């Protein structure tokens, strides 16, 4: 795994008692890259070195994932709200010396970036969200196709103990099955990266934390999102919306049309032939689009 992010230095930052782990490299304008489920910051291993040629790149594990802490959750799941996760990452960037920065997120990380733009607009200079539509829109438009393709949204959000025990019976099988299901047919992930994902995902605390992430999405995150939307809050910084044309999001939604009601300054990039995992399935196209957007 060392060869995957050679030259990136490890860091750990304590944010109000929650340890956030990651790596950084490069120089120039800062950009924060956040991963999705069920991965870690290593998912950026093919894109981050390219961006680091022009930027200071910060790769961080979300709380509950990878090398970051996995705090116990309360009944309202607030510890794994996107609001809490966004606050973590803003604090990390401040500790690293960046009061303003660009933020790029994939999957769950993109939902954190969306919340970050709403809660901390002065901190995010520009943002990119990869292969999602807003959580609020997802739950408002659930249909059979979504339920079949993304059944984990409902499985992981079940009461504590149930999904954790089932996934814990064979976490490697579960993780690999999800990578295969959401990527375009025939794509091969780097085994060194997958081994790293599996190593962290085998931890029962990581499985529990990732379930809490989805329980928060179906409860407290929705409350936050409804309040923000009703109050007229929108993403006001330049926003790049990216998706894979071969993935479920790209096939199922009019992604650009959905995001237009959530952002005031939006551009788009559809990545041809990629499934959900743009940074690993189409790293050259993903890095090119981000480089052009981040300038």
Catalytic residue among 41, 106, 224, 276: 276
107 tagged catalytic: yes
The tokens for 289 are 């689009």
Query: With contact defined as beta carbons under 8 Å apart, do 293 and 128 qualify?
Result: yes
Phi, psi of 206 (to 5 degrees): -70, -40
Torsion of CA 120, 20, 171, 144, to 10 degrees: 0
276 tagged catalytic: yes
| 56, 59, 127, 131, 292 from 275: Cα distances, Å | 28, 22, 21, 9, 21
- In DSSP terms, 195 is beta-bridged to none
52/28 Cα distance (integer angstroms): 8
285/283 Cα distance (integer angstroms): 6
Catalytic residue among 61, 107, 221, 225: 107
Q: Where are the beta strands (DSSP E) in the chain?
A: 9-15, 18-25, 30-34, 56-60, 101-106, 124-130, 239-244, 266-271
Q: How many CB atoms lie within 10 A of CB 285?
A: 18
Query: With contact defined as beta carbons under 8 Å apart, do 104 and 127 qualify?
Result: yes
- Count CA atoms within 13 Å of residue 66 on its CB side: 28
112/36 Cα distance (integer angstroms): 10
- Count CA atoms within 13 Å of residue 82 on its CB side: 31
The tokens for 77 are 């799941």
Catalytic residue set: 107, 276
């Amino acid at each position: 795994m060392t060869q995957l992010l050679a030259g990136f230095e490890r860091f750990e930052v304590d944010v109000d008692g929650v340890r956030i782990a990651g790596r950084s490299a490069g120089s120039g304008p800062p950009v924060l890259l956040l991963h999705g489920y069920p991965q870690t910051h290593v998912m950026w291993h093919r894109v981050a070195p390219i961006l680091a040629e022009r930027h200071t790149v910060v790769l961080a594990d979300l709380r509950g994932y990878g090398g970051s802490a996995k705090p116990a959750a309360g009944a309202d799941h607030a510890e794994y709200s996107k609001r809490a996760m966004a606050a973590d990452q803003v604090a990390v960037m401040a500790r690293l010396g960046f009061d303003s920065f660009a933020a790029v997120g994939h999957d769950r990380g993109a939902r954190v970036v969306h919340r970050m733009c709403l809660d901390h607009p002065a901190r995010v200079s520009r943002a990119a969200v990869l292969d999602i539509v807003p959580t609020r829109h997802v739950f408002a438009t659930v249909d059979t196709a979504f339920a079949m393709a993304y059944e984990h949204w409902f499985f992981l959000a079940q009461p504590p103990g149930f999904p954790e025990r089932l996934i814990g019976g064979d976490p490697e099988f579960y993780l690999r099955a999800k990578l295969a299901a959401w990527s375009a047919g025939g794509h091969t992930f780097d085994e060194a990266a997958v081994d790293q994902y599996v190593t962290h995902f085998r931890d029962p605390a990581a499985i529990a934390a990732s379930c809490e992430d989805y329980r928060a999405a179906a409860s407290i995150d929705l409350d936050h999102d409804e309040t923000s939307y009703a109050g007229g809050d929108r993403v006001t910084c330049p926003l790049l919306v990216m998706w894979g044309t071969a993935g479920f999001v790209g096939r199922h939604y009019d992604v650009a049309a959905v995001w237009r009601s959530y952002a005031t300054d939006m551009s788009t990039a559809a990545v041809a032939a990629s499934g959900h995992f743009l940074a690993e399935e189409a790293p050259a196209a993903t890095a090119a689009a981000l480089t052009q957007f981040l300038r």
